[in-house]
Structure 1
Amino acid sequence: MTDVIKELGNGSLEEMYALATYAFNSQDTEERRGRFKLIVENSWNYGFLDPEGHLTSQVMATPFSVDFHGKTYLMAGIGYVASYPEARGQGGINRIMEKILEDCRERNVALSYLAPFSYPFYRRYGYEQLFDRISYELDSRDMPAVKKTTGFMKRTTFEESVEAIRSIYANMPESKRGGLVREDWWYSYKFKQREENHYALYYDREGNASGYVVYKLEAPTFVIVEMGYLNHEALRGLMRFIGSHNGAFASFEYTCGFSGHSKNYLLDNPFAKTTVTPYMMGRIVDIEKFMQTYPFEQDINFVLHVTEDPYAKWNEGFFDITYVNGVLEVKKVQQTELPVVSGTIQSMTQLLLGYQTVEALAFHEKIRVENKLIAELSQALPSQQPILNDYF
């Protein structure tokens, strides 16, 4: 008998949970069991089994849709990467990741995200830093005094607010920069199964919900879990509601996806401590499939050259990209006389998803690009930094 890579069914739930609990030194609670069961039921679960058939390593790939500037892509979220200590260094995770990338390509998955314990470790699989997040910490004495709005706030339950949260989130521009298209089960996993969460909605004067806040009361700190709003009035209503707690809390904290700019300037006294940190990594799983519906912003014709992708060799090579009058064509070619942009799959992921500009990547020699193509790419590619407000 030999070691085996196997896609696990729900019947392996207990064995998977035991491995995850041990590997992450987690406490076994009913809440944690419930959340684990829910994500297992909605994921492709891979295991590395020893010759006796015991699970020794595992990786979970959860299929999501993401919205990238109006285009919807399938994305595999990698999580619960775990091994028992005696199995580490034996190649189990390596073989699982190789299998996952192959299966993702067959399942028409164009992208993959993950939360790294080590950036260098996951770079070997073609992943690269793709998202940042920003944390705000504000003393209660510095909370702004926000003028009353024409609408009103209402504290609610998850069940009462979930439809409004779903609608507001889906219509926020920040959700369309590589963020998840959240399904019903994900709202339950992310919010409902966190018993400490509180919910409140902002309604405009017509009675339409246009803002929401999910928060925790962790004295002495008021923690904003997530906040969404469709206009400035809704933001003011939310901030007025949050600020009304300043008599009971010494400080306020809020962490969210980083858009490239701090919102500290909106405060009367911009004393909030802001910290920008690296967040999740990502990679393009299938460059040809990804480019076939890419949201170009102007006409362009060039060749994209992926120089290196050891775990997804199908991405290596030259791809002729033509976008003219709204018609996009992508084909793999052997040679070209068109201007070329070259780089590894990591650099191409950062470039094409907007995490870094073509000028910055070229300056730091992460890509090679002809000078005449730099200006064209800069105008044709979406330039806003991708944002992710989820974790898996």
Structure 2
Amino acid sequence: MKLEKNLDNLKQIAPLVQYAFGKNNDLLHDDNFMSRYDHSDGYGFFNDKKLTSYIMVNKFKSEVFGHHVPMAGIGYVASYPEYRGQGHISKLMKEILKDLHDQDIPFTNLAPFSESFYRHYGFSNSIYQKEYRFSGSALRAFKLPRTGHVIRGKWNDLMVQNGVIQLYERQLHTDDERNTVIRQAWWWNRMDSYYHNRNIAVYIDADGRPISYLIYRIHGNVFLADELYSITAKGLICLLGFMGSHAGAIKEFRMILPEHSLIGELFPEQNQLHISLHPYMMSRIIDFAIMVTYMKPLQEGTFNVEVISDDQCPWNIGVWQITNQAGQVSCKQIEDGLVDYSGPITAWTQVFLGRLSMRDAVKLGLITDYRIKKLDFKKGDVSFYDYF
């Protein structure tokens, strides 16, 4: 059931989340938890007036190919161990998806503790991270900028903060993002306080314009770059030079970057880099008909696609006619018509919000093609990461 925002419920939510996630502090007095709680809807299951299961839902806007699309971030999925396996989370998840559908929120994201667990609810892997690990010797070729300058500070430094937000907003206006959170002020502030001791470096060019930024942490002798973004190659090289200026005291550097990152190509000795790809977030289409209209088909024309299964959101099942004319995409359900492509909602999520092209999905047997019509969608990028 959806929970009322009152102190009695909060006093049951906090200890459940504390226990389930191994938190040692009192969440009732934790600003990080409370800021998220204050901007959330909560769903819970009670047994003899005791809250035994809980899910938090935060509502955001997400950038999807130039559209500000309502999106729900699901987190703090928790049950006491003695009540697990009784179907309580399944009931709550079904209720949440129905409520989000009624509120015209067409998709949701979450960070899974178990991918197979969330696939039962129609979620699919959609966002991946590329991790670079290397020692300071790999940065020898990069120097601090000779023109312009780097400013360094904390999030509460307004010069630093404004530089970061300008660059972040600039990327969101490229229409290339397929599932990137539009960060509100409260979320920026929470991110800063949630990740302790974060520093920020912004490269300002000779004309006073912010060109690139780096959000990073130093833990002992490990330098961790949480976010690195630049609008030019020079901006990347300048911040790599800034990282290199720490090499004397740092044993290992780690950069967490978007899957499409090619920054390794700038290193003269790429064999010094250890590069790995990790699944990060899962997504779920709640309203197929709405979600289609935000996509960018690569071919014009009319196509009939079928959602063959969706246990949690049965309104998605059926044949949908997609029309793409002059960049305008419309979608309607039809009763008759030859189907061009079909697949379960999980596969369509991978194609719309994940990294799979239609061609790859067909090759993998996730989507079935029945006719010779060619249809694919612009893939776009996820340039920034958020954790729910």
How many Å separate the matches in 1 of 2:379 and 2:262? 17
The gaps in structure 1 that reach 5 residues or longer are none
2:141 maps to a residue whose letter is: A
Equivalent residue for 1:125? 121
Equivalent residue for 2:130? 134
The question of whether the paired residues in 1 share the 8 Å contact of 2:14 and 2:27 is answered with: no
CA displacement at 1:133 relative to structure 2: 0.9
How many Å separate the matches in 2 of 1:66 and 1:323? 22
CA distance change for structure 1 residues 156 and 31 in 2, over 3 Å: closer, same or farther? farther
1:120 alignment partner, SS class = helix
1:74 alignment partner, SS class = strand
The gaps in structure 2 that reach 5 residues or longer are none
How many Å separate the matches in 2 of 1:187 and 1:386? 17
What is the RMSD computed on CA atoms of the aligned residues?
2.0
Equivalent residue for 2:23? 26
How many Å separate the matches in 2 of 1:164 and 1:73? 25
2:214 alignment partner, SS class = strand
Q: Once the two structures are superposed, what CA deviation does each residue of 1:235-259 show, in whole Å capped at 9, x if it has no partner? A: 1221111111101111111113312
The question of whether the paired residues in 1 share the 8 Å contact of 2:295 and 2:378 is answered with: no
1:163 maps to a residue whose letter is: N
The question of whether the paired residues in 2 share the 8 Å contact of 1:362 and 1:369 is answered with: yes
Give matches, 1:83-232, under 5 Å: 83-147=79-143, 148-160=145-157, 161-172=160-171, 176-232=177-233
TM-score normalized with structure 2 length: 0.93
The question of whether the paired residues in 2 share the 8 Å contact of 1:151 and 1:204 is answered with: yes
How many Å separate the matches in 2 of 1:170 and 1:144? 32
Give matches, 1:1-16, under 5 Å: 5-11=1-7, 12-16=9-13
The question of whether the paired residues in 2 share the 8 Å contact of 1:135 and 1:255 is answered with: yes
CA displacement at 1:34 relative to structure 2: 1.2
How many Å separate the matches in 2 of 1:231 and 1:216? 23
How many Å separate the matches in 1 of 2:6 and 2:62? 25
TM-score normalized with structure 1 length: 0.92
CA distance change for structure 1 residues 30 and 21 in 2, over 3 Å: closer, same or farther? closer
How many Å separate the matches in 1 of 2:197 and 2:346? 38
2:351 alignment partner, SS class = helix
CA distance change for structure 1 residues 354 and 117 in 2, over 3 Å: closer, same or farther? closer
CA distance change for structure 1 residues 15 and 45 in 2, over 3 Å: closer, same or farther? same
Q: Once the two structures are superposed, what CA deviation does each residue of 1:329-350 show, in whole Å capped at 9, x if it has no partner? A: 211111113x521000000111
Q: Is it true that 1:359 corresponds to 2:359 in the alignment?
A: yes
CA distance change for structure 1 residues 174 and 265 in 2, over 3 Å: closer, same or farther? farther
Equivalent residue for 1:251? 252
The question of whether the paired residues in 2 share the 8 Å contact of 1:66 and 1:74 is answered with: yes
CA displacement at 1:145 relative to structure 2: 2.2
CA displacement at 1:162 relative to structure 2: 2.1
1:130 alignment partner, SS class = strand
How many Å separate the matches in 2 of 1:321 and 1:96? 32
CA displacement at 1:275 relative to structure 2: 1.1
Give matches, 1:248-287, under 5 Å: 248-259=249-260, 262-270=262-270, 271-287=272-288
The question of whether the paired residues in 1 share the 8 Å contact of 2:65 and 2:175 is answered with: no
Give matches, 1:60-75, under 5 Å: 60-75=56-71
1:355 alignment partner, SS class = coil
CA displacement at 1:369 relative to structure 2: 1.0
The question of whether the paired residues in 1 share the 8 Å contact of 2:322 and 2:329 is answered with: yes
Equivalent residue for 1:342? 342
